[in-house]
Structure formats: structure tokens, C-alpha cells
Amino acid sequence: MSAYCLATYRCFDEKADFHKKATGIAVGLTVGSWTELPEAQKAQMEKHLGKVVAVEVHEPAPGQPPSERYADIQIAYPDVNFSRDIPALLVTVFGKLSMDGKIKLIDLNFSPGFMAGFAGPKFGMQGVRDLLGVHDRPLLMSIFKSVVGYELPALREQFYLQAAGGVDLIKDDEILFENPLTPLEKRIEVCLEAAEQATKETGQKLLYAVNLTGPTFQLAEQAKKAIRAGANALLFNVLAYGFDVLQALSADPEINIPIMAHPAMAGATYPSPHYGISASVLLGKLMRLAGADLVLFPSPYGSVVMPREENLAIKQVLLTNDLHRDYAYGAASDTDLKLAASFPVPSAGIHPGLVPLILRDFGGDVVVNAGGGIHGHPLGTIAGGQAFRQAIDATLQGITLRDYANNHPELKAAIDTWGIKE
């Protein structure tokens, strides 16, 4: 039996015959035409023909405009039609179709045969925890801020202050590119010196995700240059370069450090209810499949807000053990295709008063990621990191932040500044 990848679309139209629309998609994106073909040619082309799996029509609720009429359409695409890579699959299922009116790709399921071409995250959530030696709590990450135009001494000082506050990971700002003031190898050298100094004081290991940038065909060598300089993690703007580039970097045996995926450019693709690709596919399934060990995405709480249900959908596909179990259309497979889980990193506008919400929604398997919530602490950057660690400790112990703050001045100052979001 043939194997298929399944695409689910949400298609809006006031008057369309959605079943006819579904057939048009299934045929148009595979063999191009069907009814005009001679019977002998139909037999030959059958294995290439897309299949309509489901059409679920939703009429507008009372009071809603007719423009809110939509259908969720599921189409199965034969694996034989495309090569085993993410660009080929995306062009097949949504390339031309993405320009065909109000239609959004809301889910994408991969056949076992397609998934077999992907190793997934090299380290994953468990591997990152193993590198840091932290298995009993959420991780804490901080972000470089105000980096453009700064020289190495200022960068080193900012790194040290973050590390001394008790964070587990520090990442470059995604807009920090190769430049004469803070070149990659020198930046790694001074930051790792600062990390060593902080580790002697805190006893904590630390990962520094250095931003991997440059022309696409030089990225692998740039990553290896960073590793030779001592880098122990990479930050990568996946959507600017492409999922296939992430997969190539992750699959390279010489790039043996975790890769953190940044969501830059994602806002051009997922937020509209009528167009683009859903966040759970764009920042969840595809990132994990392509090999991201950690995935950043906008949180439901802070300054760049993503709806909570979309956040939880990303979390589910990053952490679930069996991405291929719901691909029941086509050939069954008993092959063990489990990919390592990717660490979810909800981001943007995070302060200590949000920690209980983050842990409520994500549990312990999350990276709490902060920029201004650390650097903007009224008692300084070190106190900013400490306040987050205190908020995490309090939440894990079932103590309210206000009660815990009575004996922890760093947390109290943070609450006085940003409050607590219930």
C-alpha cells in the first residue's frame, strides 16, 4: 500500500462547494487533471493522485458574518510524489495553494517513510539537561540586550552579570551578526571566560548559544569555527535560512552542540486565521523534525503574545514521543521513529511574576526565557536572575510568590516592579 503525508487546511469561503474544492486541491496539487485522462492512463497515475480524506464544513454561528463560513479539509499526498525533505513537502502541499484565497495550512502529518529520513534533535530536551546537569526543575535562560555597537569588554561584563544571577543558558540577540567590534571567535572567547568566572561562584554549568550567521553555504564552516573556538550551543534564525539548512546543520556529525531555533520571521506566517501556516506546524513539528534541540516562540503572557491554545499545541508536538502515530492514512509501520523531544522556550516580555503561569501551562519541561525581566531588575542584572530562580523555586514548592518574597528581596523587588499575573 502507498504511503502518504497528510495536510489539513482551513478554507474560508461564503458560497464554495467545499467537497468540490477539496477534490480540486487533491488533483491539482498532484496529477493536475483526472477526469480528462484515458482509463489506461488513470491506472498508471493512480499512485500519484492525492486523496480527499475528510471535509468538515462549519457554517457561521448566529450573528457571525457569512465570511466566517469555512471547512477543514484533509488531503493525503503520496510520498512517491516528492523527495524526502521539508522544502519538497511544503511546496507540494502548500506552494501554489497558499496563494489561492483564504486558506491556511493548520496541520501537517508525516508518513513513517517520510519521517525515516530525519534524525530529529541531536541532543533534545534530555541531552540539554544532561549537559547542564539539571534534571529537577525548569531551566532559566537570559538574552543579550543592547548588543549592536558594543565592544567586547561591555559584552563580557553583560555576560558575567547574567551568568552570576544563576541562569543556565545565555543566548545572543538574534540581530547580533558578525561584525568588527565583536567577531565570533573573540566573542566566544570572552564570554566563556566570563562563564568560567561565574561558574566558580555559582557552581552552575552554562550553555552559551552564539548566533550562527553568514551566507548560507558558509554556515556549516562558521558553526565548526565556533565549535573550535569553544562554543557549546548555537542560536539559529531558521525561518530566514530554511528548515533544510537546519536539518543539514543538525545532521552534520562535526556540529556536536545543541541548536536553538529562533522564531524570527514567524510573524509573517502564522498569526492570521485565514492565511499562512499554523504555529504548531511552523514552530513545532517542522522545527523538531528538522533537528532543533530548543525552540523559541512567543509566549501567551508577555509582550509578543501568541494565543494560549497555540502555545500548548506547540508544546504538545515538541514534547510528544510519537509524532508518527496519527498518520493512519496509507501504509502502516511498526518502525520505531521516535524523535527526541525539543525543549519549549516561550519568550518575550517574561518577568518573575509570570513564572507560576508558565509552569502551570508547561510543567517542569520548559525553559523560562527573559531579557528585560533580568536586565531591567531594579537591583541589577544579577538580582534579576536570582529573582527568577526564586520564583521557580517558590512555584515548585507550592508557595505563593508574595509569601516567598517576604524573605527574598530580589523577588520582592521584581514583584513590586512588574507585579504578579494570575
Closest CA to 247 of 209, 287, 278: 287
Could you tell me where the DSSP H helices lie in 84-151?
A: 86-90, 112-115, 124-132
Q: Check: CB of residue 192 under 8 Å from CB of residue 166.
A: no
Rg of the Cα trace of the chain? 24
Identify residue 101 by its one-letter amino acid code: G
Give the DSSP H or E segment for 158. Answer: helix 152-164
How far apart are the C-alpha atoms of 348 and 401, rounded to whole Å? 21
Closest CA to 291 of 223, 364, 192: 223
Give the DSSP H or E segment for 198. Answer: helix 184-202
Burial of 136 (0-12, 13-18, 19+ CB in 10 A): exposed
Pseudo-torsion of CA 321, 327, 332, 333, nearest 10°? -30
Our answer to whether residue 96 is catalytic in this structure is yes
Q: Check: CB of residue 353 under 8 Å from CB of residue 417.
A: no
Closest CA to 370 of 168, 150, 216: 168
**Cβ partners under 8 Å of residue 61, min gap 6:** 68
Residue-by-residue DSSP string for 33-73: -STTS-HHHHHHHGGG--EEEEEEEEPPPTTS-GGG-EEEE
Of 96, 186, 205, 225, catalytic: 96
Closest CA to 415 of 338, 333, 328, 356: 356
Active site residues: 96
